[in-house]
Each structure stands twice: as C-alpha cells, then as structure tokens.
C-alpha cells in the first residue's frame, strides 16, 4: 500500500556516475602477450606455456588461461591440448579477409565522418597526427602503431560507430602482425602521409577523396605480404588457391 508520504516524494535530478573500468589481471596478461607477439619478441611457432607465463608475471594460471583463450580467438595463438600452445603462423588468407572487411566497413565510416565531424573530433584527429609525427621522428614502431590504431578508432567515434572498431579487432590480428613487421621508418612516413591525406579529406567534407585515400592505404598490405614472404616465408601459412 502506497502512503501519502510516498506519493508526495519527488525524485531529485541526480547525475549519472561514470564508472571507469580497471584492467583485470587477465587483461594485463593479454596485453603483454599481444604486444610481444606483434613485436616479434614472440615470433611465429614459439612455444609458450601457461605455467611459465604465470611464473614470470607472478600471477595464478587462471588469468593466463583466460588470456590464452582470447589470443587464440583473435588468431595469435594455436592451442593444442596434446602438444601445447604456440604462437600461430601468419595466415595470408586471414590478412586478405581482414583487409576486405576493413575496407568495406571503414569506407562507410569515413564517408559518414565527413558529415558528422565536430570541432572536437577534428582536434582529436589533428592531435593524433601530431603523435604519429613524433613517433616517426623517433623511429618508434610501437608508438606509431598505437597512434595509427587510435587514429582509425577516432574516425569510428566521430562517425558514431565506435562498435565498428570493436568488431574489427576480432578480424585483423594477422593484419596487425604484417604491419608491425613492416613498420620501418620509410613505411611510417608513407602511412603518416596517407593519414594526413585522409584527415584533409574528412575535414573538407570530401567523402569520395576519403574513400580513395583509405582504399589506397589499406591496399598497401598486399605489397607488404609479398615483401615479407620473400624475406622469411616460414612465418606464413600457405594461402588457399
């Protein structure tokens, strides 16, 4: 039964509290291993074990097991119960699939971003261009890769489709490995210029030019695959014909 006192109560206009998620132990293990696989500190075919990772990182095996499963889902690890866990070979087929998916989704995203760009979005992209320039000046491969990722993600945010970037994380692991293997100083400069060209197209509200630049940018992976296979074919699985 509702009392008269309860009927007279008025809800106050209270603010929403934003909770900042903290990385779990499994998140930290995942991130550490992912970075080492990308940088080739853990090259393809390297054997790793839950017990050894847990011992070195000072954690229990449960978060390591969870991190292993996440890395395997992305294509970084191959888990075989009878023969152990190894860093997976790079799948050329997976790279080509990821490139197709990225192009299809990011072209639409960039075209949308051209008309939804705000001043704050423009400033965020400009700041990330500056971070990339700094990484190029220092020949910082990891720093450039991180800023590259943030740049593409920011375009998704500007377009109002951040979930697209989350979706792409599940498909582009092998593509990321190719890029990290290839990010020498000259390629960093090329990628930076393409990002600048894409930025200019977006702020100029020129979706056709944005699509052209992005397609060129993502197609460069085809050249990188051929160059890397010529240097060390043992890193790759055979492509399906």
The pLDDT tens digits along the chain (241 residues) read 555 555 555 556 666 656 656 789 999 999 999 989 988 889 999 999 999 999 999 999 999 999 999 999 988 999 998 889 999 998 889 899 999 999 999 999 999 999 999 999 999 999 999 999 999 999 998 899 999 999 999 999 999 999 999 999 888 888 888 888 888 889 999 999 999 999 999 999 999 999 999 999 999 999 888 888 888 778 888 665 4
Pairing of strands 77-80, 84-87: antiparallel
Q: Do the Cβ atoms of 155 and 109 come closer than 8 Å?
A: yes
Task: Specify the pTM.
Answer: 0.80
Helices (H) and strands (E) in the chain, counts: 11, 5
State the distance between the two ends of the chain, measured CA to CA, in whole angstroms: 73
pLDDT for 241: 43
Identify the DSSP state of 159: T
| CA–CA gap between residue 84 and residue 69 (Å, rounded) | 13
């Amino acid at each position: 039964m509702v009392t008269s006192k309860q009927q007279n109560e008025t809800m106050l206009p209270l603010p929403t509290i934003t909770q900042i998620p903290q990385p779990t132990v499994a998140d930290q293990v995942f991130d550490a291993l992912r970075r080492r696989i990308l940088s080739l500190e853990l090259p393809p075919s390297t054997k790793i074990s839950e017990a050894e990772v847990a011992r070195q990182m000072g954690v229990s095996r449960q978060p390591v097991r969870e991190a292993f499963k996440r890395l395997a889902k992305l294509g970084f690890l191959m888990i075989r119960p009878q023969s152990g866990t190894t860093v997976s070979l790079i799948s050329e087929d997976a790279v080509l699939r990821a490139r197709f998916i990225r192009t299809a989704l990011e072209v639409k995203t960039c075209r949308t971003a051209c008309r939804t760009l705000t001043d704050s979005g423009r400033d965020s992209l400009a700041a990330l261009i500056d971070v990339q320039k700094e990484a190029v000046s220092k020949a910082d491969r990891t720093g450039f890769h991180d800023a590259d990722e943030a740049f593409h993600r920011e375009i998704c945010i500007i377009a109002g489709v951040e979930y697209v970037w989350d979706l792409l994380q599940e498909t582009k692991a092998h593509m990321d490995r190719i890029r990290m293997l290839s990010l020498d100083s000259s390629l960093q400069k090329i990628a930076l210029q393409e990002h600048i060209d894409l930025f200019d197209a977006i702020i100029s509200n020129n979706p056709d030019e944005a699509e052209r630049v992005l397609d060129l940018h993502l197609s460069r992976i085809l050249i990188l695959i051929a160059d890397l296979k010529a240097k060390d074919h043992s890193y790759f699985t055979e492509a399906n014909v």
